Structure 1
Amino acid sequence: MTQATAYQKIPGILMALSSAIFWGISGTCAQFLFEEKNLDPAWLVTWRLIIGGSILILFSLSQERKAAFSVWKKPIHILQILLFGIVGMVAVQFTYFYSISLSNSATATILQYIGPVFVVAFYAVKNRTWPITTEYLALILALSGIFLLVTHESFDLLVISKDALLWGILSALALAFYTIQPVGLLRLFSPAAITGWGMLIGGFTFSIFTQPWSLSGLWDGETLLAFAYIILFGTVLSFYFFLRSVSIIGATTASLLCSVEPLSAALTAVFWLKVSFLGIDWIGTILILITVALLTWNKKDKKARPVEI
């Protein structure tokens, strides 16, 4: 790599890191809203999807004009985007936020990051191929990281509730589905349009059950700031920065750099909300981050995937 090329990639690297940090901090903002302001996770998810989806559709329209509606032309694509919005988008958002409400943003984010292990398992079954050595190593590291994180090396003790562990694993499974299901759509349409429509569909569908028109929790200046951060920085700007970074440094490098998201969630939870995070928790976190790095670096085909929001 020449010096000029290296300098040209610096903006992409900074954007990828910024998007990951924004995502991580948004999880801690959600924890703050749940613990301090008594907001309901389902209510917050509904409005995040509706407002974030609306902004992303407007962004797509400004960039692509009529092409933003292309996904609605064929019945097969309509079915796929409806499935992505109603099942994929709602599931990945609600399981993650509910997991935060049961534990904390650091633990929930780290547990969700074992999702790539399930993606590898899915493609191994689908393609009828055994995982390679790197993938076996990633699985061992992921299981070791989870064990340390939720038990602190004790076989008869959980340091988080069983419900928190269950919803954390469900969050990882939802992330795997969210990653795999829309691959075909993302080969044909822009990530902005697919993610935006998915969020809108999911938000309006979920609103049938959550009654978002009724305010949830205590609303004051702090609530507004945390809510605005989740929408603007944790959704819109993080999405835009990630897409821009992919165009500059490529999807694999951008995804690898986004592995700092759990670290940003952990650090902000520890220093802002005073979450107890011991040395053994950091070791478990590092093992799971190494898992993500191994699986990302090992990708041989750069399949399109939705951004993580």
Structure 2
Amino acid sequence: MSEQPQAAQTEASGLTDKRSGKPDRADKRSRRTRRMMRSSLTLGLLMAVGGAMLWGMNGTLSKYLMSHYGVTPLWFSCVRQLCAGMLFLACAAWRTPRSLKGVVSSPREMLRMLWLALFCVLFVQVGYLEAIDWTNSATATVLQSVNILIVLVYVCIRSRKAPRRRDAIGAVLALIGVFLLATQGDPTRLALPWQGLAWGLGEAVATAGMAILPLRDIAKWGNFTVNAVTFLMSGVVLLAVAPPWRGMPALDTTGWVLVALSVVFGTFAAFGLFLKGVSVIGSVRGAMVGTIEPVTAAVTSAVCLGTSFTGMDLTGFAAIITMVFLTA
């Protein structure tokens, strides 16, 4: 028997029965797959946005602690990374024990995790707090947003493709929005000490790396395992440089509660949600969605610290919200 009749029978069995009007099984599977992909992307976007919003709240909280309690960036970074690392470690031991064991038992993987811990986690944490300390939270956020351009350039070079028009427009809108929020449209107000400029731009590079470098490791080992190992490594490095029992700030009960909130929500939950979301939606979208952080910081500053909004602020809000819709 020739193969043609068999192929025709197979093809006919997989096509829509026109007489009955019922869709074929392949079409149903295709639609189901598309729905699952859309649901996954939506969930990833929501997780990335949630992580960025928690970062924004944490920026306001951090500025309050540094201004009112004399908390230093190195002390705060060390405490946050060690405590958040322990939380990630507990989750990894519970949810992905095999992945945790696989990373810890592999010298090659541990060396890679050390690179991620030093370049990404440590520099993102310390760089952002140092930039706030030398300048202010708004200026630090503006400098951090340079990471969008770094990620776009990297992805375009790696894929040898020009950016999509909507991604390029979203990037421009994000930068314009953050610029308006931080400067009120007056670029002369970005007169920075060189230390603040250096920390801010260095942190932007590290933030771009955070949106790119850990993705393969998260896909392989899981979000909890990667965060547990890298946070603890960076915390141990800071422990050797600036142990928290030296220069202990005078924290009262409220101060310690704020530190705990910063650890649990501003660090543990924020990094976990954002990195997991970025692993789903991609580096470019993750970097641009991350610019919703200054919106959250502005809102929480107004509610908690009594900051008022101007027309430039509202324009910046609109630009960043439009960016989220474009990149979604």
Decide: shared fold, TM above 0.5.
Answer: yes
Q: 216-225 or 32-41, which moves further after superposition?
A: 216-225
Deviation at 1:63, TM superposition (A): 1.0
Relative distance call for 1:45 and 1:290 in structure 2 (3 A) is farther
Deviation at 1:49, TM superposition (A): 0.6
Query: What is the distance in 2 between the residues matched to 1:111 and 1:285?
Result: 18
C-alpha distance after superposition, 1:214-255 (max 9, x if no partner)? 1432211221111011012223344566689x5xxx933996
Deviation at 1:175, TM superposition (A): 0.6
1:252 partnered with 2:281: yes
1:161 partnered with 2:192: yes
Structure 1 unaligned residues grouped into runs of 5+:
298-309
Q: What is the one-letter code of the residue matched to 1:71? A: V
**Residues paired across the two proteins, number:** 288
Query: What is the distance in 2 between the residues matched to 1:160 and 1:242?
Result: 31
Deviation at 1:61, TM superposition (A): 0.1
1:127 partnered with 2:159: yes
Query: What is the distance in 1 between the residues matched to 2:78 and 2:257?
Result: 18
- For the Cα contact (< 8 Å) 2:145–2:175, is it kept in 1? no
* Alignment partner, residue 82 of structure 1: 114
- For the Cα contact (< 8 Å) 1:114–1:142, is it kept in 2? no
Query: What is the distance in 2 between the residues matched to 1:100 and 1:136?
Result: 28
- For the Cα contact (< 8 Å) 2:292–2:320, is it kept in 1? no
SS in 1 for 2:250: coil
TM normalised by structure 2 equals 0.73
C-alpha distance after superposition, 1:179-210 (max 9, x if no partner)? 21222212211011001111100111122222
Q: What is the one-letter code of the residue matched to 1:48? A: R
TM normalised by structure 1 equals 0.77
Query: What is the distance in 2 between the residues matched to 1:44 and 1:59?
Result: 23
Q: 1:177 aligns with which of 200, 209, 214?
A: 209
Relative distance call for 1:147 and 1:242 in structure 2 (3 A) is closer
- For the Cα contact (< 8 Å) 1:33–1:39, is it kept in 2? yes
Query: What is the distance in 1 between the residues matched to 2:200 and 2:320?
Result: 14
Computing the radius of gyration over CA atoms, which structure comes out larger, 1 or 2?
2
Relative distance call for 1:136 and 1:252 in structure 2 (3 A) is closer
* Alignment partner, residue 307 of structure 1: none
C-alpha distance after superposition, 1:36-79 (max 9, x if no partner)? 11110111001111110011011110112243121234443222
SS in 2 for 1:218: coil
Deviation at 1:32, TM superposition (A): 0.6
Relative distance call for 1:282 and 1:160 in structure 2 (3 A) is farther
CA RMSD of aligned residues (A): 3.6
Deviation at 1:91, TM superposition (A): 0.7
Structure 2 unaligned residues grouped into runs of 5+:
1-30
* Alignment partner, residue 297 of structure 2: 265
SS in 1 for 2:189: coil
1:234 partnered with 2:263: no
Query: What is the distance in 2 between the residues matched to 1:120 and 1:15?
Result: 21
1:199 partnered with 2:228: no
Query: What is the distance in 1 between the residues matched to 2:234 and 2:114?
Result: 8
